[in-house]
Amino acid sequence: MVRPGANALTDGQLEKNALIKPKALTPGDTVGFITPSTPIFDPDLLSLIKPGIESFGLKVKIGDYVGKRKANYEDTLKGRLDDLHTMFADPEIKGIVATGGYGASQLLDRIDYNLIRSNPKIFIGYSDVTALHLAIHKMTKLVTFHGAPTVESEYTQRHVKEAIFETEPIGLVTNPEKSSGGIRAGLRTVRSGKSTAPLMGGNLSLIAATMSTPYEIETDGTIFFIEDVNEEPYRVDRMMTHLRLAGKFDKVKGVVWGICAECGGLNRTSSGFVYTLGEVIDNLMKPLGVPVLSGMTIGHTSDRLTLPLGVQGTLDADLGTLEILEPGVI
């Protein structure tokens, strides 16, 4: 059941581009850790999370539901939802770190969006958390952050700090010269050009899954970024075609295809589908008439950018760069 007042936002409150920016984090702040998607029960894994976040100079408060099994589906939903609401309501908590997996979309019509709007704070996650990013942005206009405060690489740490600790614009970003795996992730200009617009996007599977709901993505006039993991080329083609048929590419200003980890290569085909992932991207993106860049380190990769949703950025598909022109925090 939707909490009272969950969708009671006025047209004026949702005025286009009326972004709400959370306060930047500072060392010593407390952040909440929640699992709104797949629960984490493994104590060995849980033992790694707190030190990882603390390495940014932050204190960590673990959600009450984290690491606990519930007896039935409704209790599971309630536990995940309560953790989300509690962290936004708690004045001690200055930011929220959310892990992905599966199931965040189950919460969307139960969230108290007025509570979130009244208590703006850093909210960061990626993958399945895309469902929450899209819903929170659409219902509150709060700037949220696609990324994760992990210690997988110096590149990832640096970009987390620039996005949520510093009140200056992030500025120019691109792939690292040498990745943490030893080889630079390849950037490819699919269609030349340069464009400036607000950033919007996330995980392709979740973007497709929220279509025709009140929380579906708004892409008109945006630089649309997309990433995914473990999807074969024909499934990527199906989801991208779905978005194309729904008009989600009709008025974009640019497209950034991030990393699609374990999404097939030159020799992978399925169900008679003969196109590689690169060909899928070219087939669907080249006709758009806007700048398109492929291979940026967004998503399921150890070298990961942190991107604020809704802020202005400039895509230069020829140089292989994004320039974040305004801060996502105050």
Domains of the chain: which residue ranges? Answer: 30-151, 169-324
76 CB-contact burial (10 Å; exposed 0-12 / middle 13-18 / buried 19+): middle
Contact 317, 292 (CB under 8 A): yes
Which pLDDT score is estimated for 180?
Answer: 60
Sheet of strand 122-125: strand arrangement: 59-62, 30-34, 93-98, 122-125, 145-146, 307-308
* pTM, entire model: 0.92
Which pLDDT score is estimated for 69?
Answer: 81
Question: Which residue is catalytic, options 216, 227, 231, 323?
Answer: 227
Nearest residue to 269 via CA among 279, 259, 261: 279
Residue 17 has pLDDT above 80, yes or no: no
Q: Distance between CA 150 and CA 302 in Å, rounded?
A: 9
Q: Where are the beta strands (DSSP E) in 150-236?
A: 171-173, 188-191, 194-203, 223-229
Residue 11 has pLDDT above 70, yes or no: no
pLDDT tens digit sequence for 32-69? 999 999 888 888 888 888 899 999 999 999 999 998 88
Residue 230 has pLDDT above 60, yes or no: yes
Task: For residue 107, report the phi and psi dihedrals to the nearest 5 degrees.
Answer: -90, -15
Which pLDDT score is estimated for 253?
Answer: 98
Give the percent of the chain with pLDDT over 70: 91
Q: Which position has the higher pLDDT, 2 or 286?
A: 286
Mean of pLDDT over the chain = 91
Match 């279509």 to its residue by tokens.
211
Task: For residue 321, report the phi and psi dihedrals to the nearest 5 degrees.
Answer: -135, 155
Which pLDDT score is estimated for 184?
Answer: 52
Q: Distance between CA 126 and CA 225 in Å, rounded?
A: 12
Residue 294 among the catalytic residues: no
* Homologous superfamily assigned to 30-151: Murein tetrapeptidase LD-carboxypeptidase, N-terminal domain (3.40.50.10740)
Residue 15 among the catalytic residues: no
Dihedral sign, CA of 274, 277, 282, 287?
A: positive
Which pLDDT score is estimated for 45?
Answer: 84
State the DSSP H helix or E strand holding residue 164, giving kind and residue range, or none if neither. helix 154-164
Q: Which position has the higher pLDDT, 38 or 314?
A: 314
Assign 3-class secondary structure to 113-154. HHHHHHCCCEEEECHHHHHHHHHHHHHHCECCEECCCCCCCH
Question: Which residue is catalytic, options 37, 85, 105, 127?
Answer: 127
Residue 15 has pLDDT above 90, yes or no: no
Highest-scoring range by mean pLDDT, 58-72, 210-224, 257-271: 210-224
Residue 6 has pLDDT above 80, yes or no: no
Q: In the 8-state DSSP scheme, what is residue 28? A: T
pLDDT band at 3 (very low <50, low <70, confident <90, very high): very low
73 CB neighbour count, 10 Å cutoff: 9
Q: Do 30-151 and 169-324 have matching folds?
A: no
Count helices and strands (H / E) in the chain.
8, 14
Residue 2 has pLDDT above 80, yes or no: no
Out of 9-23, 42-56, 65-79, 130-144, pick the least confident.
9-23
Q: Which position has the higher pLDDT, 265 or 138?
A: 138
Out of 92-96, 272-276, 287-291, pick the least confident.
272-276
pLDDT band at 182 (very low <50, low <70, confident <90, very high): very low
272 CB-contact burial (10 Å; exposed 0-12 / middle 13-18 / buried 19+): exposed
Q: What is the mean pLDDT of residues 5-27?
A: 72
Which pLDDT score is estimated for 269?
Answer: 52
* Homologous superfamily assigned to 169-324: LD-carboxypeptidase A C-terminal domain-like (3.50.30.60)
* Residues written for the chain: 330
Maximum separation of any 2 CA atoms in the chain, in Å: 55
Residue 5 has pLDDT above 80, yes or no: no
Q: How far lies 225's CA from each of 214, 228, 327, in Å?
A: 20, 11, 18
